[in-house]
Structure 1
């Protein structure tokens, strides 16, 4: 086999991924997982305003996409007097909400007004302030910078406690040295068989990359064996869960036993047409996502008390539906925060009554809760990081303490 084809087949090995044997995250080290929804998901189809002014404006703006209010057939589930939850996620998320392990932050996102998926995703993962040029931080992602501040980017820790459940290393974790990544598409089935691995080893014998390739192969084999040790639960397959929902328990086990900082991205949120309301395409995806998150929480066991999960997207969708029964690229959205130590069961952050005067550019949710100060405030509590150290993670972002943990 040609060396080029082998390199393509082993993208997820990492350039110098270390061995995982005997490797475990510090027992008391808090865990953090970022679940990134690529495509810009519609927060108004998850968290519905119920105050009198916003509710009327919601129904008027979405004649075909609006979800019925609480008390109606297929209606939303009331969370408090101002907000309700989409019925598609009620069975999985309401128990976490009632246990005070789930918080929603509406009017959340980035101040970036660029509505391009790729540019906004890059800026989000880099964690840069508006106006700072992409590349000015050396293409280092904000989770990579957090890892450096936590001392996880040293040779001793490199690649051991940082893991991305993706096919390629995401921008958000670039800049922290070697970081492991394993694609959800390949969990439970190796990308290379034994014959191919032997050929690859021989191909790189005596090559400067020989040691890195050997360590990468060992890392991939170790992770695959651990992932395959727990068989797939056919009951979860029966509920038409996505790949994330199917593999969430395995992710939870790695977060429990080894991974201090993790990242996973989930696609399919660019709902320009036939989005659906209480049921339909988007409702199904939200149900799959919430099923996976609930499974992850259950699998982590006592370690869930030291874990925080952020669910976010590069931007939200337009407040008004379009002519193809969907929504277009927007601005503000809704962040989810989950965790065993979370002070949850509440809607957090700055809020406003939704109406035409309060829409961003007369089309979108405004961003009143920037994700950068929000995360800086969370990590000040979770990790005890000083303002000086947080400024290196998020330049020009004063920590905002919402009392989340």
Structure 2
């Protein structure tokens, strides 16, 4: 087999060839040594108003006769599993399904929410808005000299001057990680089988021995082997659980079809999040994962149902990531975003349609949490954007720019490389 055929085979196996150095290293950035950042993209536009619930708003309950989450129970009243969980004195509350996973992080002041967040894009198109966010360019689409197809996480890695070790936990390289810097992508949906046997691995290594690709090939196989070993360990753990519990877990482990762009399903997120944590603890300091299934036009549900199931799995994934990454959690920031929110009023099929402003989640051991942060307005009909959805008061580029400044000590010139045409805004998240 010639080299070109080997490359085709390698690409089909999902192994990234253009890998940066991924060996253990000590990061020497001026602000915070050894910081980790993970971006979780919820593809499909999730309904933020049923996650960070405006429980103090009568308008919220009038607008959602069948899908609203109940107000928190009064002090001394009997618990209600369908009631929202109070977060702040001004009426914000949390979806009850997140009570066992996200509420503990909130209480430890390791989780914050940013309502009325998003982008200036008003198309309400999944693909257009996702592409715009991942590119990270100004609202007018001008890139400030950035090359076409460049993503803001790739530019962030470039701005760190050789201190970055980025990775995308996706089937293909997402736009947000595309650009001049070579970034590996690795799907964590594997079965525990490596794509090449020992003989094939040795043959490929010999083929590139002495070339500039030698170390990249070796590191690529090391990454694939690590992922395969993690998948096999997880498979054995699940088999042991089935034997001990005497029940089949196949229904829980089946992945539902991703809503957008081959994103991981929320059902598979907890398992993959734990694998991500191991890799980010040992090898990478900038990560990306997308989770699909959030386009809830029909039968969205309230305290139970479609959205509640998605949120339960997402919460379990973030909590599992925090647990699995261990002491490194104290230097880790996880931000969950979506391309847009959804209409504030429920539609005629007991769901919600494409909206505008949304709510970002910010979790981590270095997060100044237990707070609702950013610019806010009272949730009333008068405050809606176009009388239909949340306005955007906190631009994602400005907010993330402020986070990157704090995490990595980036100056104005480097931040302008990441988010051209935007002034960063430090709202005290980290």
Match of 2:155 in 1: 145
Among 247, 260, 266, the alignment partner of 2:285 is 260
Match of 1:334 in 2: 359
Q: Secondary structure at the match of 2:397?
A: helix
Seen in structure 2, the aligned counterparts of structure 1 residues 238 and 25 have a Cα distance that, compared at 3 Å, is farther
2:70–2:82 contact (8 Å) kept in structure 1: yes
- Partner Cα distance (1:37, 1:243) in 2: 13
Q: Secondary structure at the match of 1:324?
A: coil
Work out whether 1:75 is the aligned partner of 2:83: yes
Compute the displacement of 1:185 (Å).
Answer: 1.6
Match of 2:43 in 1: 38
Work out whether 1:169 is the aligned partner of 2:173: yes
- Partner Cα distance (1:239, 1:25) in 2: 42
Compute the displacement of 1:14 (Å).
Answer: 2.2
Match of 2:18 in 1: 16
Seen in structure 2, the aligned counterparts of structure 1 residues 148 and 187 have a Cα distance that, compared at 3 Å, is farther
Compute the displacement of 1:140 (Å).
Answer: 1.2
Pairwise mapping of residues 198-237 of structure 1 onto structure 2 (< 5 A)?
201=204, 214-215=217-218, 218-228=221-231, 230-232=233-235, 233-234=237-238
Pairwise mapping of residues 89-100 of structure 1 onto structure 2 (< 5 A)?
89-100=98-109
- Partner Cα distance (1:174, 1:144) in 2: 6
Seen in structure 2, the aligned counterparts of structure 1 residues 323 and 200 have a Cα distance that, compared at 3 Å, is farther
Compute the displacement of 1:211 (Å).
Answer: 5.3
Compute the displacement of 1:43 (Å).
Answer: 0.4
- Partner Cα distance (2:142, 2:206) in 1: 41
1:14–1:216 contact (8 Å) kept in structure 2: no
1:101–1:344 contact (8 Å) kept in structure 2: yes
Write out per-residue CA displacement over residues 339-383 of structure 1, whole angstroms, 9 at most, x where no aligned residue: 101110010011111122111111110001111110111121111
Pairwise mapping of residues 352-371 of structure 1 onto structure 2 (< 5 A)?
352-371=377-396
2:302–2:308 contact (8 Å) kept in structure 1: yes
Match of 2:116 in 1: 107
Seen in structure 2, the aligned counterparts of structure 1 residues 189 and 106 have a Cα distance that, compared at 3 Å, is farther
Higher mean alpha-carbon deviation, 288-297 vs 181-190, is at 181-190
TM-score, normalisation: structure 1 = 0.88
- Partner Cα distance (2:212, 2:161) in 1: 26
Seen in structure 2, the aligned counterparts of structure 1 residues 209 and 7 have a Cα distance that, compared at 3 Å, is farther
Compute the displacement of 1:77 (Å).
Answer: 0.5
- Partner Cα distance (1:239, 1:312) in 2: 28
- Partner Cα distance (2:292, 2:400) in 1: 22
Compute the displacement of 1:23 (Å).
Answer: 3.6
- Partner Cα distance (1:349, 1:25) in 2: 33
- Partner Cα distance (1:24, 1:91) in 2: 35
Q: Secondary structure at the match of 1:365?
A: coil
Seen in structure 2, the aligned counterparts of structure 1 residues 127 and 200 have a Cα distance that, compared at 3 Å, is farther
RMSD of the alignment, in Å?
2.9
Match of 1:64 in 2: 66
Compute the displacement of 1:83 (Å).
Answer: 0.3
Among 273, 285, 288, the alignment partner of 2:298 is 273
Seen in structure 2, the aligned counterparts of structure 1 residues 133 and 119 have a Cα distance that, compared at 3 Å, is farther
Seen in structure 2, the aligned counterparts of structure 1 residues 204 and 402 have a Cα distance that, compared at 3 Å, is same
Compute the displacement of 1:131 (Å).
Answer: 0.7
Count of residue pairs brought into register by the alignment:
392
Q: Secondary structure at the match of 2:189?
A: helix
Write out per-residue CA displacement over residues 255-303 of structure 1, whole angstroms, 9 at most, x where no aligned residue: 1112110001101111111111101111101100110100111112221
1:24–1:259 contact (8 Å) kept in structure 2: no
Work out whether 1:119 is the aligned partner of 2:128: yes
1:25–1:257 contact (8 Å) kept in structure 2: no
